[in-house]
């Protein structure tokens, strides 16, 4: 009986690790067993963005901006293949990263990203999701991101560092 309880906990701990915040690369080991692009495969945003963009950075999502300095190009202009890096906030403790799939206008892009959601949305991949630049300076420093569960942008505004480009600086 005791052995069964230990096995039960062993199964719960990896599941709890997968459900940690989006930005952490701590779930990379679990995510590496998932197939890129496979829905519901338990991805967090960091290993997913690394896999999709080829940008070899690690750490929590918000750390990508500083980590890219001197290694990759950075800027405030969206480009397909670049990674949008969101800052850490009280509600987004590990930040978030998303790969730009296409630029649709001066103030809107589409992204592919993982783990942008709650409940059943945790760990899921979302493709071609709209992101709006709502910054006063039109510089992508403040964005609003599509929330699939609500089928709308919602009311949250997210501060962004900018874009990391997959080319060396």
The mean pLDDT of the chain is 81
Dist. CA 60–CA 78, nearest whole Å = 21
CA nearest 93: which of 118, 125, 134, 61?
A: 61
Going along the chain from its start, the domains and CATH numbers come out as: 2-164 (3.90.1720)
The predicted structure's pLDDT at residue 137: 96
Residue 39: other Cβ atoms inside 10 A? 11
The predicted structure's pLDDT at residue 149: 78
* Residue-wise pLDDT tens digits, 15-45: 333 334 465 444 433 333 344 444 445 789 9
Quote the percentage of the chain above a pLDDT of 70.
75
The predicted structure's pLDDT at residue 34: 42
Asked whether the whole model's pTM tops 0.85, one would answer no
């Amino acid at each position: 009986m005791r052995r069964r309880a230990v096995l039960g906990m062993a199964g719960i701990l990896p599941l709890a690790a997968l459900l940690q915040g989006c930005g952490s690369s701590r779930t990379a080991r679990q995510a590496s067993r998932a197939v890129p692009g496979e829905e519901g495969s338990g991805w967090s945003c960091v290993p997913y963005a690394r896999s999709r963009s080829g940008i070899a950075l690690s750490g929590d999502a918000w750390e990508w901006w500083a980590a890219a300095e001197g290694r990759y190009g950075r800027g405030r202009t969206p480009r397909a293949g670049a990674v949008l890096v969101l800052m850490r906030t009280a509600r987004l403790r590990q930040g978030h990263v998303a790969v730009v799939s296409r630029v649709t206008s001066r103030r809107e892009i589409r992204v592919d990203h993982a783990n942008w959601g709650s409940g059943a949305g945790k760990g899921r991949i979302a493709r071609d999701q709209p992101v709006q630049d709502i910054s006063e300076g039109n510089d992508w420093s403040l964005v609003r991101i599509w929330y699939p569960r609500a089928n709308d942008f919602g009311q949250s505004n997210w501060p962004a560092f900018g874009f990391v480009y997959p080319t060396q600086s």
